[in-house]
Structure 1
């Protein structure tokens, strides 16, 4: 069975073996973050609607569960904001009924947590991982480029309300870009808000792949250590990259190509990223990427961390 709405599972630096569920069309989101590894938002919206059919997602999950070992997590993520789907609560319920021992995680930008219906939809998740990159309106608009109706103060209030009632774990991610959202005064305000939210973890992240805007620079380890000190919140950690895994069993060229194309369609990757994520031989991947370049299926972008591969976007 070909999967259109689920992907992986892939080794995750935070969640172990994670099966992804994508509930929106590429790239549908409430934000157009300058650092987004999925590229610029093409559908900037606050409208909750069925972007992909509920029955198709349910059928794919059913087939996967019946034919594969259980992953550590089923994770709602992918090519946009998963809470834009009004079916997310129903799909979480389905997973819990079908596979109660599998943990469910939701990656969200927190912009819809002010909606009590969204908060209810996420109640049965085991782990919710919201992001909060800025707390000052000017900085929020600069780094996250929100849909017009979004107000950062309302976002923060919704996040606090959700954190106060959610029974699962809450891990808050803060994405740092030097010179954009790392001013001392703003970080001090962010720290006070984080202490009010009181997440189980605060995870500092920075640029690892090409973002939606060219020329962005990642924060250094020293930059992130400084941020952690200023925020002064409990359980702050700097997220580490995935380490290389041992090579897996031999697979056909066709299957390898399909795995690679599915992965880099969602986010650009280096060969090392693909080696770790897909458990494939590095040498075979290098040969494959050269062929895909020659066949005009893939393009490469040189960044500070290396050569990133991505699918060639069709002109609008």
Structure 2
């Protein structure tokens, strides 16, 4: 789990991740700062809804915490930018990626992102050195997108999709598209077909189909049944839906 708003450290874990192995989380934000207020978010409601990038935690503090961690802890397999909000809102993300790559070259870097800032060319350029990027897209239709993700005013799926496609043109790492399934909202054939068609354009290395594991921000969001998830996987049968980190 990412750190809570009461913690001063920016690190959390390491945790055992099915996708990533032994992963140490790096949370660069003030809890809970995001461009979206997703109904399914297991971190709760967004309290700072914004698309303004700023430095929340100084670069040197993050690097010092990593230095201290590696003195006393077993080495994780992956360092993952994630947490209680959207990591690309951190204005020093690019600087940290460069510094971590230089100081800890043996570790893979991963970024979990909701994709909303990918229309920004500067953001795309900053994250190119990351080894694994896991962007999410939960709906193509604006109405469905709004119902699930409850975005900041002005955010719509079309520019986000364009940003993903632009990222793919220059990105040489591993790209795994994440789709969170909310029963009764984006699990219908029409919406899933649109997501499948976009995935065919994007051609990610894999697709992660996710469902609620812990209580979400809204009680009406429920997990997908095993039977229905199997049917959804069939819709994405042309993609790798059992993706694991390539080592």
Please indicate the TM-score interval, normalised by the length of the shorter structure.
Answer: over 0.9
RMSD over equivalenced CA pairs, Å? 1.5
Structure 1 residue 3 displacement after superposition: 6.1
Structure 1 residue 92 displacement after superposition: 1.3
Aligned length in residues: 238
Alpha-carbon distance in 2 for matches of 1:141, 1:179 = 14
1:19 to 14, 20, 24: 24
Structure 1 residue 231 displacement after superposition: 3.5
Alpha-carbon distance in 1 for matches of 2:243, 2:175 = 16
1:203 to 205, 208, 211: 208
Q: Does 1:184 align with 2:189?
A: yes
Alpha-carbon distance in 2 for matches of 1:78, 1:183 = 29
Give 3-state SS (helix, strand or coil) of 2:242's partner.
strand
Alpha-carbon distance in 2 for matches of 1:225, 1:65 = 41
Distance change (3 Å), C-alpha of 1:38 and 1:125: same
1:235 to 233, 240, 244: 240
TM normalised by structure 1 equals 0.73
Structure 1 residue 179 displacement after superposition: 0.6
Aligned counterparts, 1:1-316, within 5 A: 4-237=9-242
| Contact 1:190/1:231 (8 A) holds in 2 | no
Q: With a CA cutoff of 8 Å and minimum separation of 6, indicate the structure with the bigger relative contact order.
A: 2
Unaligned runs of 5+ in 2: 1-6
Q: Which has the larger radius of gyration?
A: 1
Give structure 1 regions of 4+ aligned residues with deviation exceeding 6 angstroms: none
TM normalised by structure 2 equals 0.92
Structure 1 residue 69 displacement after superposition: 2.7
Alpha-carbon distance in 1 for matches of 2:161, 2:56 = 26
Q: Deviations over 1:47-77 (max 9, x none)?
A: 0001122221111112222333321000000
